[in-house]
Structure 1
Amino acid sequence: MKRWPEFIAVAALAAVLAFAVFAQDRPAPAQPSSTAKDAPASTRGNSFAIRDVRVFDGEHVIENANVVVRDGRIAAVGADAEVPQGLDVIDGAGKTLLPGLIDAHTHSWGNARADALRFGVTTELDMLGDWNRLPQIEQRRGSLAPTTQADLWSAGAAVTAPGGHGTQYGMDVPTLAADGDAAAFVDARVAEGSDYIKIIVEDLSAYGTDMRMPTLAPAQVAAAIDAAHRHDRLAVVHVSGRAPAMRAIDAGADGLAHIFIDAAVDEAFAKAARSHDSFVIPTLSVLSGIAGTGEGAKLAADPRLQPWLGGEQVATLEASFPLHARDPALGERLLASVGALHAAGVTILAGTDAGNPGTTHGASLHGELELLVRAGLSPAEALNSATAATADAFGLDDRGRIAPGLRADLVLVDGNPLADITATRAIDAVWKNGHAVERALARPAGPAAAAPGDTLVDDFEGDAIAPRFGAWHPTTDAIAGGASVASHALVAGGADGTRGALAVRGEIKPGFAFPWAGVIFFPAGDATQALDFSARTELVFKVRGDGRRYNAMLFSGPSMQGMPSMQAFTAGEDWTEVRLPLDGFAGADLAQLRAIAFTAGKPEGGFEFFLDHVEVR
């Protein structure tokens, strides 16, 4: 767990480089209908019936039931429900009908909601996002019109400290100063349209590191919770440690985002959470990624999910936190903690924290259900946690159940997930607002162009910075609100007495939790294109500098949003050749190489290093 802060630094850089897609509400890319799975007959409208199907209504099972949908809402459900003449009828024999699934913890931007809907997740609860879109998403979720996206509820901007967690993702977010008025801060979030209030308590102490991050004081947390309740809003608190989790519960938090990782749940905590009627969204999907147990990669390889996963989704599922080693003991402790909470009667809600390494929107909720069952919930209880229980907890009174009058957000699966929870992945059909969703197969990304035949990137021997291919650019945390600076310039005096070298100079400045500055090389000229370097084996360069430790990072995969891979090097006083094996960049996809970065991080202060004769051999 010692390298968690290093991951955050790299993730911040990745998020900044991918900022063009953050907080945007774009539809999914158009895909040819010829690749789509045959849709049920009900695609002609939002009125239809399903006959002789097993129904899990959000709480209970009804065998051999009929379900009637009229104008996008459930009209009747039951073993004796009459199917009116004239409706399209779908045979449900051998299948199970579920309410549309609800992911209780996501960060939804870009194509997230289209990706979610394709996997039967018809509603997402965003736990930090762009508050400017709140009126738009509220209007959309009230409609029964056809849509290609899941509905969204959102916290908008979170309550967090300056430089604290939630400020590192490339957006200029409001923050609550140490002497700030928490009630006034919450008032502003409510005025913006936040559906609930997300409060972040995170100083990194739970991760076993000496690094600390600014966070809210306990009195501010309590004041923010009280203010949320005065506005009839839920207060959901992000925690990673037991002590702040207990303080949040005692202060009246309605729920916790994440199960804490620094200790197992004990009887005292479970009893407190139960007595305060607080729910917990464990987010085992993302925490399993921290433990390195490979749950995301298992989902990516599941043949029931694989055909509908886009290349970027596969990349994020297979991405991992750059830990020194897997920590399966942490994974088992997390499962045991969720089991202890469940046994104590604490409400467990299914949420994934999708948008992070090892997760993706839609598919990861199916993995979360399996993890909850492994933690001790029955399949029916796990399904409840992703349907009726979340709807009840967040006051979503028109969904989460299959009952007359509710909207027809439905998922039909082959088999019986009440016996085998993984059967939720065998999706036969999805309906949103009663309209059948065309589950277009994800188009595989075309192969990247081959890397240039010349292995030399740049020897800096010209009169200007002009690599053999690609482009060099400075990169700093200033794009994400930091103050660090960097510059790069051609200078005389290269390695081995050659004419020139690339000087990279700058300063790591305070004011940003995980600062960086340096230089980045795009082999194809910019981040939108990748090149195939799969035949190469080494990154080789010559370096000298101030004796600091630096990082070489590879960005690869279907997009720049994938997590970079990293190896460290030292820039000493004398020119030294550094040879980094490409297979040492864990998880890098050399067939889709997008960028190579050379960056400084903490400690704060000035830095200077020189590069020469950069090759990818």
Structure 2
Amino acid sequence: MKWTAPACLAALVATAGLAVALQPHPGDAATAAPASDGVLIHGARVFDGERDLGIADVLVQDGRIAAVGAGVAAPAGVARIDGRGHTLLPGLVDAHVHAWGDAQRDMARFGVTSALDMHGDAARLPALRSARESVADSGQADLWAAGFAITAPGGHGTQYGFSVPTVDAGTDIDAFIAARVAEGDDFIKLIVEDLSAYGTAQRLPTLSGQQVAAVVAAAHARERLAVAHVATLADARMVVDAGADGLVHVFTDTVADDGLVEALRARDAFVTPTLSVVASMAGSGEGKALAQDPRLQPLLTVEQTGTLERDFGPPHPARLEQAIESVRRMHAAGVEILAGSDAPNPGTAHGASLHHELELLVRAGLTPAQALAAATSRPAQRFGLAERGRIAPGMRADLVLVAGNPLDDIRATRAIEAVWKNGHRVARAIEAAGPAPAPAPEATVVSDFDGGRIDATFGNWQATTDRMAGGGSDVEHALVASGAGGSPGALRVAGEVRPGFAFPWAGVMFFPAAQPMQAVDLSGRGELVFRVRGDGRSYNAMLFSGASAQGMPSVQTFVAGAGWQEVRLPLSGFAGGDLARVRGIAFTAGQPHGRFEFILDQVELR
């Protein structure tokens, strides 16, 4: 992931339990699972993960593939499915996700039956291993995971709401990696990221070249792959020279040069470009277009639609062009490319975005067959995903049946007719829609802070700081006398933004509904108006809105000077904001670290 500060705050609000999740619909029991004696898929074109087998039959029994070929007989009791005009694929593998909540079920509904989780709490690793060893009717994707990514204190990866062990100058790296392997890491992921690729002044601490080399050596000594998050060409060169097995993002600061491409090829290192999230960073709008694809749209949850409709910060079109050209050069030189989405970052959604990634890989020069292999057999082989990624006798019966032929048009993977996980048919229906936004209140004044309590004409106020994600910033908010224009009162917001968190913040948040992050329709309003005075710092006004409570906020800034001033922020100025579904408005201090104070009064939504 590559989070800007506003995006990080959005994720952390969700982490704090303010998100609204929709559960998949249980579906019809008759279609949720096949007959207990198995299934025969007859007459479909079969892509086995490596090559086109032509028209063939595939027999599934006891959760595994029993036979593949022409004229396979169906034993008594086996259900028979007519696959003519369709293509049967191995269950897809997403080689870069960050999975929580309903992610595994969402992936399975879109034919992604296995995935590689690139950073998360190691406590769940034993359960993930147990689940993927089973052939039960789970209805969800299996996960192989890195556990905690390897990063520096306060570095990228420490900002997501759970405690992460880190590597500093005094760390015994061999013992550190031994501990991660003992926790159950399936592979080791390093993070080499200081934010220099994104044109911002902020820098994060990150791993040194010496530390990277030591982590790679310790991982290899324990028969684990070592893969790296990088964002610049220079960092990519450094980690490849240190012996990393692969890059799990393509860098976006420039195009890959001949030296790096040759180093990748010579070391047999792979690259998972995650072009879907690069497209979001570019501001391409491709995530929104994916959400509107009629083959996918009925299967998307409100949450998934919300993340797809968001772009990742200010647009940088050149990033996608450079990334695609880098992939084109790598692929042409024989560097192995794997398909990964980096879901659920803005512009992506679990399951659906792997189909977008396939299209982008073809755009970057892979043939459809090569792109499909990059999402099936190739990641399975590289990461040792036993019994996955192929259609062959003895393999898991993780299968996807699509209408048409994706070997001719890769976008045919979106026309999914059926998915099987461990030989069981996956229920794919979802709730038709989430709850409708609450109607706009009649009042335009939110709060004048003239009473004896911190209240609002509608909605409510709450403090918010990075402590919900393990940071150390503090805030206090209280009524004070002598508000703007001589009014009786105002709201004082003061505290300290402290180091120890990658994207620190502290402030207050207004929720327009009775429950935090419940959507309210404010499409009839035009301005956020308030009076403010303070210490001269620049502050953020953040609008949280849209179909998903986990969506990235839209941001405008304001300065709190020494004297009272009226600030008028047009709601249309919150780029990408969905005024029909407003979930919250935050007033926060961020960088630089230090004390802050501002006094807020006469808040209105006109």
TM above 0.5, yes or no, is yes
Q: 1:322 Cα deviation (Å)?
A: 2.3
Q: What amino acid maps onto 1:191 in structure 2?
A: A
2: CA distance, partners of 1:332 / 1:117: 30
1:102 to 83, 93, 109: 93
2:318 to 310, 317, 329: 329
Tell me: CA distance 1:400–1:13, structure 2 relative to 1, closer, same or farther (3 Å).
same
2:15 to 15, 19, 23: 19
Q: Would you say the 8 A contact 2:160–2:469 is kept in 1?
A: yes
Instruction: Give 3-state SS (helix, strand or coil) of 1:152's partner.
Output: strand
Q: Would you say the 8 A contact 2:483–2:490 is kept in 1?
A: yes
Instruction: Give 3-state SS (helix, strand or coil) of 2:34's partner.
Output: helix
Instruction: Give 3-state SS (helix, strand or coil) of 2:220's partner.
Output: helix
Q: Would you say the 8 A contact 1:485–1:506 is kept in 2?
A: yes
Q: What amino acid maps onto 2:525 in structure 1?
A: R
Q: What amino acid maps onto 1:503 in structure 2?
A: R
1: CA distance, partners of 2:37 / 2:284: 42
Q: Which residues in structure 2 correspond to 1:191-590 (within 5 Å)?
A: 191-323=182-314, 326-590=315-579
Q: 1:388 Cα deviation (Å)?
A: 0.2
Question: What is residue 33 of structure 1 aligned with on the other side?
Answer: 27
Instruction: Give 3-state SS (helix, strand or coil) of 2:68's partner.
Output: strand
Moved more, 581-590 or 230-239: 581-590
Tell me: CA distance 1:528–1:547, structure 2 relative to 1, closer, same or farther (3 Å).
closer
Q: What amino acid maps onto 1:423 in structure 2?
A: A
Q: 1:616 Cα deviation (Å)?
A: 0.8
Q: 1:80 Cα deviation (Å)?
A: 4.3
Tell me: CA distance 1:238–1:32, structure 2 relative to 1, closer, same or farther (3 Å).
closer
Q: Which residues in structure 2 correspond to 1:92-131 (within 5 Å)?
A: 92-131=83-122
Q: 1:45 Cα deviation (Å)?
A: 2.7
Tell me: CA distance 1:453–1:27, structure 2 relative to 1, closer, same or farther (3 Å).
closer
Tell me: CA distance 1:476–1:86, structure 2 relative to 1, closer, same or farther (3 Å).
closer
Question: What is residue 154 of structure 1 aligned with on the other side?
Answer: 145
Q: Would you say the 8 A contact 2:24–2:429 is kept in 1?
A: no
Q: 1:525 Cα deviation (Å)?
A: 3.4
Instruction: Map Cα deviations across residues 338-365 of structure 1 (whole Å, 9 max, x no partner).
Output: 0110001011000011021111100000
Moved more, 383-392 or 330-339: 330-339
Instruction: Map Cα deviations across residues 233-262 of structure 1 (whole Å, 9 max, x no partner).
Output: 110111111111111111111111101111
2: CA distance, partners of 1:286 / 1:425: 19
Instruction: Give 3-state SS (helix, strand or coil) of 1:221's partner.
Output: helix
Instruction: Give 3-state SS (helix, strand or coil) of 2:320's partner.
Output: helix
Q: 1:471 Cα deviation (Å)?
A: 1.5
Instruction: Map Cα deviations across residues 83-105 of structure 1 (whole Å, 9 max, x no partner).
Output: 33442111111000000000000
Instruction: Give 3-state SS (helix, strand or coil) of 1:608's partner.
Output: strand
1: CA distance, partners of 2:59 / 2:370: 25
Q: What amino acid maps onto 2:321 in structure 1?
A: E
Q: Would you say the 8 A contact 2:538–2:560 is kept in 1?
A: yes
* TM-score between both structures, scaled by the size of structure 2: 0.97
Tell me: CA distance 1:441–1:526, structure 2 relative to 1, closer, same or farther (3 Å).
closer
1: CA distance, partners of 2:192 / 2:439: 46
Q: Would you say the 8 A contact 1:33–1:440 is kept in 2?
A: yes
Q: 1:198 Cα deviation (Å)?
A: 0.7
Instruction: Give 3-state SS (helix, strand or coil) of 1:84's partner.
Output: coil
Q: 1:32 Cα deviation (Å)?
A: 5.4
% identical equivalent positions: 60
Instruction: Give 3-state SS (helix, strand or coil) of 2:598's partner.
Output: strand
RMSD of aligned residue pairs (Cα, Å):
1.9
Q: 1:393 Cα deviation (Å)?
A: 0.4
Q: Would you say the 8 A contact 1:39–1:429 is kept in 2?
A: no
Instruction: Give 3-state SS (helix, strand or coil) of 1:44's partner.
Output: coil
Structure 1: segments with no counterpart, 5+ residues: none
1: CA distance, partners of 2:343 / 2:389: 20
Q: 1:11 Cα deviation (Å)?
A: 2.1
1: CA distance, partners of 2:7 / 2:488: 36
2: CA distance, partners of 1:371 / 1:332: 11
Q: Does 1:183 align with 2:179?
A: no
Q: 1:474 Cα deviation (Å)?
A: 1.3
Moved more, 159-168 or 473-482: 473-482
Moved more, 523-532 or 505-514: 523-532
1:52 to 43, 46, 51: 43
Q: Would you say the 8 A contact 1:457–1:615 is kept in 2?
A: yes
Instruction: Map Cα deviations across residues 264-306 of structure 1 (whole Å, 9 max, x no partner).
Output: 0111111100110111000001111111111211110100000
1: CA distance, partners of 2:585 / 2:36: 50
Q: Would you say the 8 A contact 2:24–2:428 is kept in 1?
A: no
* TM-score between both structures, scaled by the size of structure 1: 0.95
Question: What is residue 9 of structure 1 aligned with on the other side?
Answer: 5
2: CA distance, partners of 1:181 / 1:425: 47
Question: What is residue 87 of structure 1 aligned with on the other side?
Answer: 78
Tell me: CA distance 1:168–1:566, structure 2 relative to 1, closer, same or farther (3 Å).
same
Moved more, 466-475 or 138-147: 466-475
Q: What amino acid maps onto 2:196 in structure 1?
A: S
Q: 1:436 Cα deviation (Å)?
A: 0.6
Instruction: Give 3-state SS (helix, strand or coil) of 1:449's partner.
Output: coil
Tell me: CA distance 1:27–1:582, structure 2 relative to 1, closer, same or farther (3 Å).
closer
2: CA distance, partners of 1:481 / 1:64: 55
Tell me: CA distance 1:28–1:606, structure 2 relative to 1, closer, same or farther (3 Å).
closer
Q: 1:28 Cα deviation (Å)?
A: 6.9
Structure 2: segments with no counterpart, 5+ residues: none
Instruction: Map Cα deviations across residues 417-448 of structure 1 (whole Å, 9 max, x no partner).
Output: 00000000000000000001111134211211
Q: Does 1:170 align with 2:172?
A: no
Moved more, 522-531 or 92-101: 522-531
1: CA distance, partners of 2:517 / 2:560: 30
Q: 1:475 Cα deviation (Å)?
A: 1.1
1: CA distance, partners of 2:54 / 2:349: 32
